[in-house]
A = this chain, B = another copy of it.
């Protein structure tokens, strides 16, 4: 038996999430066992990459056979921490916030939206989802800490992103997912992830502007 402290690439974690997605689809199609080749085909990742990713966490397959679809799905969920429920709050119920609240996927995959907040008085009280009424920002700290929210989703405009993040930290959330186009600052003990939709589009524009993507002429004096 060997035990080693090793580093897990962030890219690996991202892929694990997509593996779950593909595995569930394959399971729906009736595949009880998948090879790394089939799974790779399905989610457009090389078979070796999949095996490597999984090997960081243990041995989940059977040589000569493959992986049991259902149990591998469960194993990956455990790895990602999706075997428990993460109480989550969302701040800023604009279109994007609404989209996330209605995203049934969350409910089925380890997250539970326990509260939603907005600064627009006209929205307060609106039921955005079964049993979930929009609350004023002023209630954020009180409600989120009472509900023991662990994750806060920020879908407010850039101008109020930082103050929103501050409130979430005060309310005791451990992680923040920020969709506002502003890099907020949080204490070291808070985990932060920024999602920049604009960057994704800009990346596309860059690739389209260059015939040979990822290559370019470098000019120096």
Determine if B110 and A205 form an interchain contact, defined as CB atoms under 8 angstroms apart: yes
A82-B202, A95-B99, A196-B18 known; A191+B220 contact, CB < 8 A: no
Given known A-B contacts A56-B218, A218-B56, A175 and B200 have beta carbons under 8 A apart: no
Instruction: A23 to B74: give the CA distance in the assembly, Å.
Output: 44
Q: Cβ of A13 < 8 Å from any Cβ of B?
A: yes
**How far in angstroms is the closest Cβ of chain B from A36?**
16
Majority SS at the chain A contact face = mixed
Stretch at the interface among A63-71, A100-108, A114-122, A130-138: A100-108
Copy number in this complex?
2
Residues of B within 8 A of A177 (CB): 200-201, 204
Question: Do B220 and A2 touch across chains, with their CB atoms under 8 A apart?
Answer: yes
Which A residues fall within an 8 A CB radius of B?
1-8, 10, 13-14, 16-18, 20-22, 43-44, 56-59, 79-82, 86, 94-96, 98-100, 102-103, 105-106, 109-111, 150-151, 174-175, 177, 181-183, 185, 191, 193, 195-210, 213-221
